[in-house]
């Protein structure tokens, strides 16, 4: 884990403990390292809050995202200007992944918005779980939706993860959204299949919160928290990065 990721992880555990904590600590805003600047907070239907930010020293076009549930950080990831999944850290399984060089079919946000379809086929490296291959595609459905005053375009996606032997680890399909202005994918609804088990999830955005607005960089999710089952119990860790365009 790099020093910047470690600093962000420490910020997350400082804002939210893994056990009972006083209300003041629970309500503390999420704190990013000094070299990072947040530009968007999203409260989602899945009892998750996401903060999108950039950091000085990153290559042009790179964006970072941190997701929090009621207990703390559950995902930290980086994408490039084409929404390729550059790196990710999954605290629940304590593993870190990085994009392998020379993808067979690189993900391309530009291709998606220009043609309406983008396929991808790439691998990630992880010291903890080894190499994983991801194959899938995103398609623009032509439908536009407005959520909390923000207009998004709907996509249909399918993705399959394979282990080094070519055995399927999990697969997922459903609908997401993109923002051309922010050059990012945002979660929607989908079904994840792991072996003989299938799990439905709904990470649709509910609120978009900008700098200076109440709730910006909140450390607490607001929506769906009474009904969501722990992600650690029912979803593969890598599915957390699905809407970073894996």
Tens of pLDDT, residues 158-213: 999 999 999 999 999 999 999 999 999 999 999 999 999 999 999 999 999 999 99
Looking at the 3D structure of the chain, how many domains does it have? Answer: 1
Q: What is the pLDDT of residues 6-33, one digit of tens each?
A: 566 655 554 443 333 334 345 578 999 9
- The boundaries of the domain holding residue 133 are 3-244
Question: What tokens appear for 140 in the block?
Answer: 């623009």
Q: What is the pLDDT of residues 64-91, one digit of tens each?
A: 999 999 999 999 999 999 999 999 999 9
pLDDT value at 151 more than 70: yes
Identify the pLDDT of residue 239.
Answer: 52
Averaged pLDDT of the chain = 87
Identify the pLDDT of residue 226.
Answer: 82
Question: What tokens appear for 63 in the block?
Answer: 């964006």
**Residue of 236 and 119 predicted with greater confidence:** 119
pLDDT value at 227 more than 70: no
Q: What is the pLDDT of residues 122-150, one digit of tens each?
A: 999 999 899 999 999 999 999 999 999 99
pLDDT value at 4 more than 50: yes
pLDDT value at 97 more than 70: yes
Beta bridge partners of 106: none
pLDDT value at 243 more than 80: no
DSSP symbol at 77: E
Identify the pLDDT of residue 8.
Answer: 61
**Residue of 14 and 117 predicted with greater confidence:** 117
pTM, 2 dp: 0.86
User: What mean pLDDT is predicted for residues 40-69?
Assistant: 97
Sort strands 48-55 and 36-44 into parallel, antiparallel or unpaired.
Answer: antiparallel
Identify the pLDDT of residue 28.
Answer: 78
User: What mean pLDDT is predicted for residues 98-103?
Assistant: 96
Question: What tokens appear for 42 in the block?
Answer: 């999203």
Secondary structure class of 34 (helix, strand, coil): coil
Question: What tokens appear for 76 in the block?
Answer: 């930290």
Handedness of CA 41, 44, 47, 52 (dihedral sign): negative
User: What mean pLDDT is predicted for residues 41-51?
Assistant: 97
Comparing C-alpha atoms, which of 65, 38, 43, 49 is closest to residue 207?
A: 43
């Amino acid at each position: 884990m790099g020093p910047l990721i470690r600093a962000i992880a420490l910020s997350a555990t400082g804002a939210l403990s893994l056990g009972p904590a006083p209300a003041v600590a629970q309500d503390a805003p999420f704190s990013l390292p000094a070299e990072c600047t947040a530009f968007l907070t999203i409260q989602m239907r899945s009892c998750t809050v996401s903060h999108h930010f950039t950091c000085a020293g990153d290559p042009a076009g790179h964006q970072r995202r941190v997701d929090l549930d009621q207990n703390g950080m559950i995902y930290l990831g980086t994408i490039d200007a084409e929404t390729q999944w550059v790196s990710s850290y999954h605290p629940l399984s304590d593993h870190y992944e990085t994009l392998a060089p020379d993808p067979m079919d690189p993900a391309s946000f530009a291709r998606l918005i220009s043609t309406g379809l983008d396929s991808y086929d790439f691998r990630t490296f992880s010291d903890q779980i080894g190499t994983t291959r991801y194959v899938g595609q995103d398609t623009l459905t032509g439908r536009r939706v407005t959520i909390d005053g923000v207009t998004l375009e709907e996509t249909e996606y399918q993705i399959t993860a394979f282990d080094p032997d070519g055995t399927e680890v999990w697969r997922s399909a459903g609908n997401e959204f993109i923002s051309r202005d922010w050059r990012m994918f945002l979660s929607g609804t989908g079904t994840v299949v792991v072996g003989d088990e299938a799990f439905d999830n709904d990470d649709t955005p509910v609120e978009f919160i900008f700098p200076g607005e109440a709730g910006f960089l909140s450390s607490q999710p607001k929506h769906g928290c009474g009904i969501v089952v722990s992600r650690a119990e029912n979803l593969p860790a890598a599915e957390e990065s699905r809407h970073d365009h894996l």
